[in-house]
Amino acid sequence: MTAFYVICFDVHDAKRLRKISNEMENFGVRVQRSVFECHLETAQLQELQRRLGDLMNPAEDQVRYYSLCGKDKRHIVIDGAGRVSADPDYNLL
């Protein structure tokens, strides 16, 4: 079963920033320049953390992983254009 994560990062080197951004696009939907919404299973989250850990410099960069439950997700407020991403594997019939 997937869980909903908001993942954001602050990377100080342009080359590392591009690599991390490209890797994040394999796992989620970009909602802001350095913020992604992801629907991940535990193994996928661990793989993402491993890949980003290999790309980042922990002395200069940081990645934050926020796990949100369904109740939290329903309370996300967006001012301006945009919407909360949907789980591509979940269909409401």
Q: Which tens digit of pLDDT belongs to each residue from 34-73?
A: 999 999 999 999 999 999 999 999 999 999 999 998 788 7
> Domains of the chain, with CATH numbers?
3-74 (3.30.70.240)
Strands 3-10 and 29-32, bridge-based pairing: unpaired
Question: What confidence score (pLDDT) does residue 90 get?
Answer: 47
Higher pLDDT, 30 or 93: 30
Distance CA 62, CA 20 (A): 11
Q: What is the 3-state secondary structure (H, E, C) of 6-43?
A: EEEEECCCHHHHHHHHHHHHCCCEEEECCEEEEEECHH
Q: Record the pTM.
A: 0.84
Give the span between the Cα atoms of 76 and 56, in whole angstroms: 29
CB 46 within 8 A of CB 27: no
The chain-wide mean pLDDT, for the chain, equals 89
Using an 8 Å Cβ cutoff, are 39 and 11 in contact? no
**pLDDT at 88 exceeding the cut of 90:** no
Q: Name which residue leads in pLDDT, 28 or 78.
A: 28
